Chains A and B, each alone.
Chain A
């Protein structure tokens, strides 16, 4: 796998050397672009997406994409992507997206293949560090723990733009398909934690229960039978203001040893608002995830995740941008004060994560930037229990440094 990453890296470097780096390859109508970034993370206490307490360089991404118009209405596009962020990615090269797009009318276009999922305003910026002020997207709405579930889907989507006269215009997208999650993906462990948290809520010891119904701790697989949803963005007639809503739902079977459980993802809903005025961009987003889990010998129960954030970005001049944000995340929206965690022998602050972030970005030129960021965090809801075996600190700080290149 490392060999494949090195090959991809070489292709990217050669590409950068051979072309005008700011605008990528432009072979007539065929386009080739790419990006790469390398970062460093260090936390005062607690491990967050990797071994941050000691400091980690496992914080990089690389991608290369191709766009080919086939006719006036049909085009093909694909992106190869590799990343390593703590336990996620491990430099495996994946097809991030690859689809055929049929652009029939302004109001109706179709995509078929592996397509980026419409989730919030910034899901598309997840892996392209160059496109944002911060090094990490606000984790309260874009948690790394569910990234592989919401990054893209296999299926079909219809999208377009509708002119609504004096009221502005609407961007919409509706989709249906499925999601492939490998059994060794860290998302599966996060899913297990979600199930376990729900069992704790019911007063049941999750490990005892799991083993008693034939489940195995290191064997978990999910088969998503269907996954659908959509997004609507209203571009208001007030310059720079847009409001949006995304909604996803689906169903799947979880198997582990002899255990077979049904998971119904009732909804992932994201509400978004953005206002851009001059050098300032103000953003607010809210996430609500509801999931029903049906396990043997137990009545179906629900778990819910809730998160929100507000942020401001200021383009001070051509080369300097500043950002600030505040967000809150609750892995169990019915237990925001942490009483269930206290009941399970943990601390109440395991039930939330409140993050105040300050970011600085230097644009060294059109295609290269350097970023520094500090997170002042209260709570540990997004710190993996397996990576933090002891009792974690309630108040801690995360520092990140990252440089990115795009062409």
Chain B
């Protein structure tokens, strides 16, 4: 019986750890965005500059963090690119003029402020960060 309790506790701890790791970042959008949810694939296309408009035709303004664990978690989970590779992708877009890069922010506070003010904008923050004035966009 004692062994079952130990294994049970370990499994619970593992599940908690996994859910914490998966819940590292949250997609937030301006209140003007009417999508009820968004697919993981569309998140990738938006942050690679390939999806440029919401379903209602409004232009998407993407915002990103420059550094940090939330940025790394977001890239790993949604874009499947390393920090270097993602930065390189947008530098290439800049030197060829092929697309407009996301607006970059050093702090989540500044990013949230931008999202709250800019119509059609979308970005990501840590799940632990308070986020008033924006809507959370669930990812399917």
Contacts and interface: CB of A to CB of B under 8 A. Distances in A.
Contact of B59 (A73, A79, A171, A276): A73
A87 to B, nearest CB: 24
B35 to A, nearest CB: 14
A239 interface: yes
A65 B95 contact: yes
A232 interface: no
B20 interface: no
Nearest to A173: B98
B95 A131 contact: yes
Contacts of A171: 50
Interface residues of A, number: 44
A61 B41 CA distance: 37
B130 to A, nearest CB: 26
Given A75-B100, A278-B82, A65 B59 contact: no
B88 interface: yes
Contact of A315 (B45, B59, B82): B82
Contact of A406 (B80, B81, B91, B98): B91
A127 B59 CA distance: 31
A23 interface: yes
B104 interface: yes
A63 B84 CA distance: 22
Nearest to B50: A161
Given A131-B88, A163-B41, A124 B100 contact: no
Nearest to A162: B50
Contacts of B88: 131
B96 A116 contact: yes
Contacts of A97: 96-97
A77 interface: yes
Interface residues of B, number: 25
Nearest to A78: B97
A23 B92 contact: no
A315 B84 contact: yes
**Per DSSP, are chain B's interface residues mostly helix, strand or loop, or mixed?**
mixed
A22 B104 CA distance: 11
Given A31-B94, A124-B95, A161-B45, A72 B84 contact: no
A129 to B, nearest CB: 10
A276 B81 contact: yes
A202 to B, nearest CB: 40
Interface in B46-98: 50-53, 59, 66, 80-82, 84-85, 87-88, 91-92, 94-98
A125 interface: yes
Interface in B97-111: 97-98, 100-101, 104
A253 B95 CA distance: 32
A106 B96 CA distance: 19
B95 A127 contact: yes
A10 B52 CA distance: 36
A169 B45 CA distance: 9
A278 B82 CA distance: 7
Contact of B95 (A23, A35, A276, A278): A35
A116 B98 contact: yes
B50 A65 contact: no
B96 A276 contact: no
Nearest to B81: A276
A327 to B, nearest CB: 21
A72 B53 CA distance: 10
Given A97-B97, A315-B82, 14 more contacts: A24-B94, A65-B94, A65-B97, A75-B100, A99-B97, A105-B52, A105-B53, A106-B45, A106-B50, A106-B53, A116-B98, A128-B95, A171-B50, A240-B80
10 contacts: A22-B66, A69-B100, A78-B97, A116-B96, A124-B95, A124-B98, A130-B91, A169-B45, A169-B50, A315-B85
